[in-house]
């Protein structure tokens, strides 16, 4: 094998808070022809910066300070713009995390596909379109001959990401940089894209750099894995060896992350019914119903996990419970009493008892309020506590979420993602609620941080006896924290029961698909899955669409 | 607060610093007009349209007698006399400029503040309440915006008379329509965020949502807009004064000073240009600062 890309002692700095600080500090990396290199790490590890640097590019506000990037015979750090232009898009191409944001919404897919090869003079427009259709066929996109004539919003998220992979291959590049290509997708859709990427790399014999934060995903595609942290290499090695026997503690922590949260202690009030949703049907405006005849029961001190893909109505159900979306039909009982449908009709006391934690802690905290204001307000608002008593309560809340009181005077922008989410949890706890609705609370966080948050939530439940309605698409989280599981598909509950009941066969067909889609650390997992009946189904495309067709 | 402002100014580009300088000079005039002005606002001190310090005698005899033109700046006039000459009634132009700064700027500030108060309250209200409140206010504003502002102001002022309070209320109302548009748009953005939803779910009152959750997050664009609107108001008052419907004589104000002295141009006396340039400078200065602030608020950086 010949060496394709070599990075030596790469140092990249970023401009932040008015000084230059290192984002990547002295990374050595090499990729051989036809080889897939997996870059893995938390956010801020510098993996995307390295991926983009392989094209001799830096994001605005960054600069390459030191080191060399040798691609083929070209030194990318020294090359002129004209030389780089001939390489980028032709010999190295890039697949970004969000295909929806990467495609120009105003042009048809195939036109965008043909742009690079035509512009670089590699193919004529007709040839490029022919090649595009061939790639669409190879990637099992539906209607490969005509799908290119659609606009980006007319195909599903998974199909769009596959079209993006096809576009990256338009000029038959030597190297493709995949930057978290499946992170924004549902688990079942992830399989379809992963399978495409794996096939594309194998068939076309391109080399690739695959960037992700999910070790199980990278295990499926990479030949070698490099673990990064704070811009430095933690560990590097062939995939199988690295997964089988990691040398560093950090890698081991990443490997064990899926194994779960804390242990559960039964609470004294456990078993009393708290929330009872019956026959709820709801729609936004005059649109089609997003919830159809949903029943759900939650008992005190328990955690019910609400599982489903995006668009399944999970978050809409949360809005119905909080009163933001009054249902068209059905009733909700909270602690034995009927819950008014509209937010405005509810008593302050009822509002206090139901709290919510959101997916994105960044937008859930007012950026102009300090932590003590954020936590102090609900305390003052519901209990009328002021002065020293309020300060004492806020300090106590901080202690519960395991943050020191230095954080009191900080603004949200001065906190990390995990810390922000902790503050959100504390804000919910400040009202001494009976029910907390957790809407995808861990999915925007790094895995190790997410694990800590789950542990914290479990500990708080043990101590305070609060109930959780846990909305998630991540089955690993569900396994870690749920007592009961409700599976939703297209606004309907398709399966519900205790965790053991739902997770042990026989499953509902959709649950089976969901369960099978969760990547495992085994490098052969994807290949084995695709050989099975379930895998073949997943390969065909958006699972939910097909299933709903079956049901009708 | 002040030191951080100074630090910001030191880092600002030259255009913004120039703007700050112009604003500072005007603020000085605004604050200390009675102390700085050599004469009273309405005191008549000499003849009509007497030239100021530039009135050197540059005729050929004078040049041969007393050397180059620039060295003969009229020192006799400068000593306790009119630096900038006198106006059409023989009043000291410099004094009137200083008092005029005071009147024009204070009225423009009051009007802008009032229009922001009205516009922001209605804008935030429309954004947080949605529904018919939003529709009602927005459509009313649309109707108001359909009339050309100057014509609208002229009609109202000629009907209601040209006292200063009427002037302030009319211009503030007209201007608040623009403020309403902007504040409603920014507030809608903020209103959709989850921290506002959290406050709503907590059961907070409308006033808390508007002033405590939304306002602090909409400040940067609104402050920048304040600078721009201040300029427009300033120009608008000047325009109205020029048409005779603004501040009434003998109150000094730049717009009416341009109008009163415009006739002098025909005689080769440039008195009218002094207030005209003053208006231009203030407008440009405030705009430079507002521009810089807007760019800062939008997060656009020009370090690279």
A71 within 8 A of A113, measured Cβ to Cβ: no
Q: Do B203 and A60 touch (CB under 8 A)?
A: no
Q: What is the DSSP letter of B92?
A: B
* C-alpha–C-alpha distance, residues A369 and A412, integer Å: 8
- Do B205 and B264 belong to one domain? yes
Distance from CA of B201 to the nearest CA of A (A): 7
Q: What is the pLDDT of residue A550?
A: 38
Backbone φ, ψ for residue A386 (5° rounding): -135, 175
pLDDT score for B67: 55
- What 8-state DSSP symbol labels residue B80? T
> How many residues in total does chain B contain?
304
B198 assigned to some structural domain = yes
Please give the average per-residue pLDDT across B243-261, as a whole number: 80
pLDDT exceeds cutoff 80 at B48: no
Given its phi and psi angles, is residue A449 left (phi above 0), alpha (psi -120 to 50 degrees) or beta?
A: alpha
Q: How many domains does chain B have?
A: 2
Q: Give the number of A-B residue pairs with CB atoms closer than 8 Å.
A: 48
For residue B53, what pLDDT band results from cuts at 50, 70 and 90?
Answer: low
Q: What is the pLDDT of residue A436?
A: 94
pLDDT value, residue B126: 93
Please check whether residues B280 and B137 belong to one and the same domain: yes
Closest CB from B195, B202, B301 relative to A351 = B202
Measure CB to CB from residue B194 to each of A323, A351, A364 and give the nearest one. A364
Give the residue-averaged pLDDT of A57-83.
86
A59 interfacial to chain B (CB closer than 8 Å): no
Closest partner residue to B202 among A60, A368, A378, by Cβ?
A378
- Distance CA(A214)–CA(A460), nearest Å, equals 27
**Within this chain, do residues B166 and B210 fall inside the same structural domain, yes or no?**
yes
Output the pLDDT for position B66: 56
Higher pLDDT, A203 or A548: A203
Q: Compute φ and ψ for B146, nearest 5 degrees.
A: -70, -25
Place of tokens 């668009």: A311
Q: pLDDT band for A263, please (50, 70, 90 cuts).
A: low
Q: Identify whether residues B75 and B177 lie together within a single domain.
A: no
CATH of A3-256, one of 3.40.50.2300, 3.40.50.300, 3.40.50.970, 3.30.390.10: 3.40.50.300
Residue B302 belongs to a domain: no
Kindly state whether A61 is in contact with chain B, defined as any CB-CB distance less than 8 angstroms: yes
Give the C-alpha separation, A97 to A212, whole Å.
10
Q: Could you tell me the strand order of the sheet in which A289-299 lies? A: A289-299, A273-283, A329-334, A337-338
Q: Is the pLDDT of residue A542 over 80?
A: no
Q: How far is B70 from chain A (nearest CA, A)?
A: 49
Place of tokens 């001799």: A56
- What are the DSSP calls for A512-547, one per residue? HHHHHHS--S-TTHHHHHHHSHHHHHHHTS-HHHHH
- Are B113 and B32 found together in one domain? yes
Gap between the Cα atoms of A481 and B116, Å rounded? 51
Let me know if residue B58 belongs to a domain: yes
Instruction: State whether B133 and B263 are in the same domain.
Output: yes
A33 contact partners, CB below 8 Å, separation of at least 6: A1, A2, A3, A4, A174, A205, A207
Distance, in Å, from the CA atom of A416 to the CA atom of A412, rounded to the nearest integer, reads 8
Q: What is the pTM of this model?
A: 0.79
Sequential DSSP letters for A236-252: EEEHHHHHHS--SHHHH
How much is the average pLDDT of B214-232?
85
Residue A186 pLDDT > 70, yes or no? yes
B303 within a domain of the structure (yes/no):
no
Give, in order, the Cα–Cα distances in Å from B252 to each of A173, B98, B154, B275: 74, 9, 21, 11
Share of chain A above pLDDT 90, in %: 17
- Measured between beta carbons, the chain A residues lying within 8 angstroms of B193 are 363-364
Beta-carbon contacts of B241 under 8 Å, excluding residues fewer than 6 positions away, are B247, B253, B254, B255, B256, B259
Please give the pLDDT value at position B29: 81
pLDDT at B5: 75
Q: Are residues B42 and B80 in the same domain?
A: no
What's the rounded mean pLDDT across residues B140-165? 87
CB nearest to A366's CB, from B201, B202, B213? B213
**Residue closest to B253 by CA, chosen among B113, B110, B98:** B98
B8 near A CB under 8 A:
no
| Closest alpha carbon to A136 in A544, A547, A541 | A541
State whether A356 and B201 contact (CB < 8 Å): yes
Give the CATH number, domain containing residue B238. 1.10.3720.10
Domain assignment of residue B168, yes or no: yes
Q: What is the pairing mode between strands A207-212 and A19-32?
A: unpaired
- DSSP label of A381: H
Top residue of A348, A357, A366, A411 to mutate, by most chain B CBs within 10 Å, is A366
CA angle B202, B206, B212 (to 5 degrees): 80
Question: Could you tell me which CATH number the domain at A273-366+429-518 has?
Answer: 3.40.50.300
Helix (H), strand (E) at residue B35: helix B14-36
**Out of B200, B201, B217, closest to residue A367 by CB:** B217
Residue A52 has pLDDT above 70, yes or no: yes
The alpha carbon of A145 is separated from its chain's Cα centroid by a whole number of angstroms, namely 32
Q: What is the DSSP letter of A362?
A: H
| B260–A contact, CB cutoff 8 A | no
- Token pair, residue A185, equals 């997708």
Q: Which helix (H) or strand (E) segment is B137 a member of?
A: helix B131-146
- C-beta atoms of B304 and A364 within 8 A: no
Q: How far apart are CA B118 and CA B116, in angstroms?
A: 5
CB of B195 within 8 Å of a chain A CB? The answer is yes
* B258 and B284 co-located in one domain: yes
* Of residues A135, A195, A210, A205, the one with CA closest to residue A174: A205
Locus of tokens 């036809």: A34
pLDDT surpasses 50 at A544:
no
Per-residue model confidence (pLDDT) at position A469? 93
Q: How far is A352 from chain B (nearest CA, A)?
A: 7
* Yes or no, beta carbons of A343 and B201 under 8 Å apart: yes
C-alpha A97 chain-centroid distance: 10
Tell me B91's DSSP state: B
- The reply to whether A358 touches chain B by the CB within 8 Å rule is yes
* Cβ <8 Å between A351 and B203: yes
**What are the tokens at A276?**
């009872």
Query: Residues of CATH 3.40.50.300 domain(s) within chain A?
Result: 3-256, 273-366+429-518
Q: pLDDT (tens digit, 9 = 90+) per residue, B57-105?
A: 555 565 566 555 444 444 444 445 666 777 777 777 788 888 888 888 8
Domain enclosing residue B289, as ranges: 2-46+92-297
Q: Please give the order of strands across the beta sheet that includes A3-16.
A: A19-32, A3-16, A62-71, A74-75
**B187 and B80 within one domain:** no
What does each C-alpha distance from B112 to A187, B205, B226, B227 come to in angstroms? 54, 28, 7, 9
Q: Are residues B34 and B183 in the same domain?
A: yes
What was the pLDDT predicted at A547?
45
Each residue's pLDDT tens digit, A75-108: 888 888 888 888 888 889 998 887 778 888 889 9
Which of A11-15, A198-202, B269-273 shows the highest mean pLDDT? A11-15
Domain match, B115 and B250 both: yes
Q: Name the range with the highest mean pLDDT among A519-523, A545-549, B167-171.
A: B167-171
Whether the CB of B300 is below 8 Å from some CB of chain A: the reply is no
Cβ of residue B216 closer than 8 Å to a chain A Cβ: yes
For residues B157 and B266, state if they share a domain. yes
CA A308 to centroid of chain Cα atoms: 14
Residue B55 lies in a domain: yes
Give, for A136, the enclosing helix (H) or strand (E): helix A125-138
pLDDT of res. B102: 81
Q: At what angle do helices B164-191 and B149-160 cross, to 10 degrees?
A: 140
> Which tens digits make up the pLDDT trace of B2-44?
777 777 777 778 888 888 888 888 888 888 877 777 777 777 7
Helix (H) or strand (E) holding B33: helix B14-36
Residue-wise pLDDT tens digits, A435-447: 999 988 888 788 8
Query: What is the rounded distance in angstroms from the CA atom of residue A59 to the CA atom of residue A406?
Result: 33
Q: What is the pLDDT of residues A291-333, one digit of tens each?
A: 899 999 898 888 999 988 877 888 889 999 998 888 988 889 9
Residue B243 lies in a domain: yes
Question: Which of A485, A541, A481 lies closest to A513 in space, CA to CA?
Answer: A541
- With beta carbons under 8 A apart, name residues in chain A contacting B216: 366, 368-369
Angstrom distances, CA of residue B94 to CA of A180, A444, B251, B268:
68, 64, 14, 19
> How crowded is residue A99: how many other Cβ atoms within 10 Å of its Cβ?
24
Residue A394 near residue A380, CB atoms below 8 Å: no
Q: Is the pLDDT confidence value at A74 over 50?
A: yes
At B182, is the pLDDT very low, low, confident or very high (cuts 50, 70, 90)? very high
Pairing mode, if any, of strands A303-307 and A467-472?
Answer: parallel
Which of A58, A348, A368 is the best residue to mutate to test the B interface, defined by the most B CB atoms within 10 Å of its own CB?
A368
Nearest CA-CA partner of A517 in A147, A192, A156: A192
């Amino acid at each position: 094998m010949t060496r394709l890309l070599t990075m030596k002692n790469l140092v990249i700095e970023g401009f932040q808070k008015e000084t230059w600080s290192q984002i990547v500090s002295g990374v050595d990396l090499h990729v051989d022809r036809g080889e897939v290199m997996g870059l893995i790490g938390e956010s801020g590890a510098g993996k995307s910066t390295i991926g983009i640097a392989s094209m001799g590019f830096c994001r605005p506000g960054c600069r390459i300070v030191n080191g060399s990037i040798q691609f083929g015979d070209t030194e990318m750090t020294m090359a002129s713009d004209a030389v780089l232009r001939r390489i980028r898009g032709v010999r190295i191409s890039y697949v970004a995390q969000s295909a929806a944001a990467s495609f120009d919404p105003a042009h048809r897919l195939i036109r965008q596909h043909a742009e690079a090869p035509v512009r670089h003079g590699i193919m004529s427009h007709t040839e490029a379109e022919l090649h595009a259709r061939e790639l669409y066929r190879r990637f099992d996109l539906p209607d490969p001959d005509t799908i290119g004539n659609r606009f980006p919003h007319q195909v599903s998220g998974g199909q769009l990401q596959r079209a993006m992979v096809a576009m990256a291959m338009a000029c038959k590049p030597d190297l493709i940089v995949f930057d978290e290509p499946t992170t924004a997708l549902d688990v079942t859709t992830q399989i379809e894209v992963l399978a495409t990427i794996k096939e594309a790399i194998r068939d076309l014999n391109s080399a690739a750099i695959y960037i992700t934060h999910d070790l199980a995903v990278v295990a499926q595609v990479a030949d070698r894995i490099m673990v990064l942290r704070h811009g430095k290499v933690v560990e590097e090695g062939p995939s199988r060896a690295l997964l089988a026997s990691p040398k560093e503690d950090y890698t081991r922590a990443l490997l064990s992350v899926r194994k779960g949260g804390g242990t559960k202690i039964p609470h004294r009030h456990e078993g009393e019914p708290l929330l009872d949703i019956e026959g709820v049907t709801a729609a936004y405006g005059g649109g089609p119903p997003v919830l159809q005849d949903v029943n759900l029961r939650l008992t005190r001190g328990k955690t019910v996990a609400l599982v489903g893909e995006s668009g399944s109505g999970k978050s809409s159900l949360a809005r119905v419970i909080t009163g933001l979306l009054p249902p068209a039909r059905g009733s909700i009982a909270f602690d034995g009493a009927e819950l008014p449908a509209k937010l405005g009709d509810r008593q302050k006391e009822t509002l206090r008892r139901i709290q919510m934690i959101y997916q994105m802690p960044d937008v859930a905290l007012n950026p102009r309020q300090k932590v003590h204001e954020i936590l102090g307000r609900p305390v003052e608002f519901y209990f009328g506590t002021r002065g020293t008593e309020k300060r004492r309560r806020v300090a106590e809340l901080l202690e519960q979420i395991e943050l020191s009181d230095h954080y009191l005077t900080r603004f949200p922008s001065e906190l990390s993602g995990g810390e922000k989410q902790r503050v959100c949890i504390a804000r919910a706890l400040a009202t001494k609620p009976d029910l907390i609705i957790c809407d995808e609370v861990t999915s925007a966080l790094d895995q190790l941080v997410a694990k800590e948050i789950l542990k914290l939530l479990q500990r708080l439940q043990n101590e305070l006896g609060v109930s959780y309605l846990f909305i998630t698409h991540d089955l690993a989280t569900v396994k870690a924290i749920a007592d009961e599981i409700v599976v939703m598909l297209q606004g309907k509950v398709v399966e519900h029961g205790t965790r053991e009941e739902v997770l042990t066969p026989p499953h509902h067909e959709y649950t089976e698909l969901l369960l099978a889609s969760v990547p495992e650390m085994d490098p052969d997992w994807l290949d084995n899955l695709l050989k099975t009946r379930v895998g073949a189904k997943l390969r065909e495309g958006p699972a939910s669409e097909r299933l709903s067709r079956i049901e009708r | 607060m002040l030191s951080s402002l100074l630090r910001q100014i030191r880092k600002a580009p030259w255009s913004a610093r120039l703007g700050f300088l112009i604003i500072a000079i005007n603020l000085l005039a605004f604050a200390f007009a009675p102390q700085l002005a050599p004469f009273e606002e309405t005191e008549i001190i000499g003849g009509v349209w007497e030239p100021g310090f530039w009135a050197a005698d540059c005729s050929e005899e004078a040049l041969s007698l007393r050397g180059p033109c620039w060295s003969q700046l009229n020192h006799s006039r400068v000593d306790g006399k009119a630096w900038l000459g006198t106006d059409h009634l023989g009043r000291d132009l410099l004094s009137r400029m200083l008092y005029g700064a005071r009147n024009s700027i204070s009225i423009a500030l009051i009007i802008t503040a009032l229009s922001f108060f009205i516009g922001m309250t209605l804008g935030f209200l429309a954004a947080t309440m949605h529904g018919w409140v939003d529709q009602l206010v927005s459509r009313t504003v649309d109707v108001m915006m359909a009339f050309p502002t100057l014509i609208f102001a002229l009609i109202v002022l000629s009907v209601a008379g040209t006292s200063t309070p009427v002037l302030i209320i009319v211009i503030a109302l007209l201007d608040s329509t623009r403020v309403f548009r902007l504040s409603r748009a920014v507030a809608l953005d903020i209103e959709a965020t989850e921290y506002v939803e959290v406050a709503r779910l907590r059961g907070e009152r409308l006033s808390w949502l508007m002033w405590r959750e939304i306002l602090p997050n909409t400040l940067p664009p609104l402050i920048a807009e304040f600078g721009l609107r201040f300029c427009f108001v300033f120009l608008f008052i000047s325009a109205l004064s020029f048409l005779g419907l603004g501040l009434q004589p003998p109150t000094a104000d730049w717009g009416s000073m341009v109008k009163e002295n415009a006739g002098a141009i025909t005689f080769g006396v440039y008195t009218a240009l002094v207030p005209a340039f003053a208006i231009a400078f203030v407008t440009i200065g405030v705009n430079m600062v507002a521009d810089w602030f807007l760019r800062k608020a939008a997060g656009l950086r020009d370090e690279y």
